[in-house]
Amino acid sequence: MIKVLVNDGMHQDGKTRLEEANFQVDTNNIPQDELINRLPEYDAVIVRSATKIRKELIDQCPNLKLIARGGVGMDNIDVEYARSKGIKVMNTPKASSQSVAELVIGHMFSLSRFLHRSYLEMPTSGHSNFKALKKSYAKGQLVRGKTLGIIGFGRIGQELASSAIGMGMNVIAYDIRDGNVDVPIKSPMLEGQNFTISIKISTMETLLTKSDFISIHVPSTDKPILGAAEIAKMKKGVILINSARGGTIDEDALIEGLNSGQVSAAGLDVFVNEPTPRADLLGHPKVACSPHIGASTVEAQRNIGLELADGLRQHFQ
């Protein structure tokens, strides 16, 4: 019987699919410092963001045949080292793309209409200050007709582009590859008559100077993708959104940009010091925050669980 450790949680449907295939699935979390003693008991391990599978741990697990990450990025796994040891490493790139894209759109609408601030102020002062609040928040902007710059044009970036185009936005994409990418425009109202729009990969310079909104969708990086120099090139009043990884935006430079007005607002789902983000970002009046929940929808979690289960069954059977 194949023994699988699910250390950061898994949707019940995925667990059931594995058990129906005669896998032994253990879902009791093992603390990171105890894994070196316990993980050698297992043939496979499934993690999310919290558990780290590094070289030192891999070396102590001669029976380990598969490492699976429920999600897109795999920066908490020493992927190439594991593969050099003959261990399969897999993730679930398809399952949560739409959920992350929709969170970005939620931040875009919230920041464009100051909803993140009015949610906080209406309960405490709306009864006595209604007219003043209405005046304060009467200078929102439409999303339709604006330009969205997407840094990183993989599955999530393309899902975001599809939704943005459907809302009447212009899209500029930057990626490490060149050429054109065909983005499907999907809607139940089209009744099978889906069509694609070809988006040419642009330069970073063009994206920075022409975008009204910028959203980041890249893996973890050694240094920020957007720092002070990049923010200085942006259109004044740009709105930045990061649902990728903490550290892809220089947080010091972001706060400077927010305070100067170069950046009008920021939507952040990820932070450098998770799970303890810096207080000046969380409390900044121009920042809308969410606690790293991009992939955390019921539908995405189920899809992730099923995709993981199918990947394990295919590998071992």
Please say if 292 is a catalytic residue. yes
- Residue 312, H or E segment: helix 298-316
At 72, give phi and psi (nearest 5°). Answer: -100, -65
Looking at beta carbons, which pairs linking 71-75 to residues 24 or more positions away fall under 8 Å?
71/96, 71/295, 71/304, 72/96, 72/97, 72/154, 72/155, 72/156, 72/219, 72/295, 73/219, 73/220, 73/244, 73/245, 74/219, 75/219, 75/220, 75/245
The 3 state secondary structure assigned to 100-164 is HHHHHHHHHHHHHCCHHHHHHHHHHHHHHHHHHHHHHCCCCCCCCCCEEEEECCCHHHHHHHHHH
- Given a contact cutoff of 8 angstroms between Cβ atoms, the answer to whether 253 and 280 are in contact is no
Q: Helix, strand, coil: what percent of the chain each, to 5?
A: 40, 20, 40
Catalytic residue from among 34, 41, 205, 274: 274
Please say if 245 is a catalytic residue. yes
d(CA 254, CA 267): 11
Q: Cα torsion at 25, 27, 33, 35 (round to 10°)?
A: 0
Catalytic residue from among 230, 245, 284, 307: 245
Which residues are known to be catalytic? 245, 274, 292
